[in-house]
Chain A
Amino acid sequence: MRAPDTILPLTIEGLGFARDGQPILSGVSFIIDAGPPSIIIGPNGAGKSVLLRLLHGLLVPSAGTIQWSGIADPRPRQAMVFQRPVLLRRSVLANATCPLALAGLSRAEQLARAHAALELVGLAALADRPARSLSGGEQQRLALGRAAALRPEILFLDEPCASLDPAATQAVEAIIARLATAGTKIVMTTHDLAQARRLAGEALFLHRGRLLEQSPAARFFTDPATSEAAAFLAGALVW
């Protein structure tokens, strides 16, 4: 039974994006529904970040449509963690409350949610530290907790582990898995195949601005439908 106020599924039709006459994405169509994480994979420069920005409403498509379901305003039901998250020049706790304040929540609610989020990402002990003095892994976890505190129905993650060491990567993946289990729809990009294998419910393979494949993870990783995806999986396709 679908919740009456859900914004999913998200339907993308013929999505295109061009800059200075150069097509960056073209003819991208897919549907994202509730469930385990959808992982967008593809080599560097494939257009993964641009695609997430389009879905999140930060860029305006030059072609096609992005259609949310239901009657709820989709804007406050989604959150995004950027490839390079911007932490504010404030304490860790204040970084977590800021988006909640902008969302119009009461101060008590802001604090309750922010503390719970810091607990979730293992930063409760650092609540009073200047956020920008945290290590790379801690910063990424804070960005994740800050987004989770918004309690989004769908959470866009752009290469959340791109510059992290294995231990920090593992910590971030554990948080993502927990959020997914708790019912948050994760839509995440990565160029790290091992990570995609660990997290994916389904895989979307993006190559040079085109979506070549959308398959359940089990099928994609063993039996890709396109030669490009097969080459990428074999490590032969770097661009």
Chain B
Amino acid sequence: MNDVNAAFAAAAGLIVDADPAVLGIVMLSLQVSVCAVAIAAVIGLSLGALLAVTRFPGRGAVVVALNALMGLPPVVCGLLVYLLLSRSGPLGQWGLLFTPSAMIFAQAVLIAPILAALTRQVLESYWEEYAEQLRSFGAGPCRAVPTLLWDGRFALLTVLLAGFGRASAEVGAVMIVGGNIEGYTRVMTTAIALETSKGDLPLALALGIVLMAIVLGVNAAAHALRGNATRWAG
């Protein structure tokens, strides 16, 4: 029991003192996940929006596949990206394996389907409501997409936050493609896994507390956004 108390005290110390090792790991984590969300947003939002307004044979299968990919285990995603980026893989000559770029790549692959699937859900219900009115304004499905994205702005920000939460909390994908190299590719989740197994509980705990705070902050932001969304949705 004393060990745990001492670990918490030491962890608090690391956070309060803004320990450079902790700070570096936290900054890299944020950098990787923010970049991954940005890339996944471009792909996921456009794919989701297009899927919401178009009807084509096989669309149902695409929707089911996207929904299934929302549950893609991070380690499997990491393995797939590893195969892509490894020296003999199709993208081997990019030389990205065990770099932060590889981690961004893997997290983007992990959350792009989530963003696409959730965007499709949100915008499809808007499209059902708007289609005829927008057609009267002379806008068919494709020209309606910017209108739908803008009207869904609050709901979609919540979607992006969900993606960020998922990216920053996953460990499997970044572990495999980043390699958890100290001072280079070590992020909060991989550091926690490693330090716990080494027995360095204070560092693991300190990072765990920061991670929890970030996840909490993201959810608080999402909650605030929902209030705004209902104000405009009326």
Contact = CB atoms under 8 A, between A and B. Distances in A.
B232 A102 contact: no
Given A58-B135, A98-B137, A103-B137, A89 B234 contact: yes
Chain A CB within 10 Å, residue with most, of B136, B147, B152? B136
Given A88-B147, A90-B151, A130 B232 contact: yes
A31 B29 CA distance: 69
A197 interface: no
Contact of A102 (B132, B137, B151): B137
Contacts of B134: 102
Contact of B232 (A56, A86, A132): A132
* B contacts with A: majority SS: helix
Nearest to A143: B133
B106 to A, nearest CB: 35
Contacts, number: 50
Contacts of B137: 98-99, 102-103
Q: Which of under 10, 10 to 19, 20 to 34, or 35 or more describes the interface residues of A?
A: 20 to 34
Interface residues of B, number: 19
B129 to A, nearest CB: 6
A154 to B, nearest CB: 13
Given A89-B234, A130-B234, A102 B136 contact: no
B130 interface: yes
A144 to B, nearest CB: 13
B139 interface: yes
Interface of A: 56, 58, 75-76, 79-80, 82, 85-90, 98-99, 102-103, 130-134
8 closest Cβ pairs, A-B complex: A132-B234, A86-B133, A99-B137, A89-B151, A89-B232, A130-B232, A102-B139, A102-B137
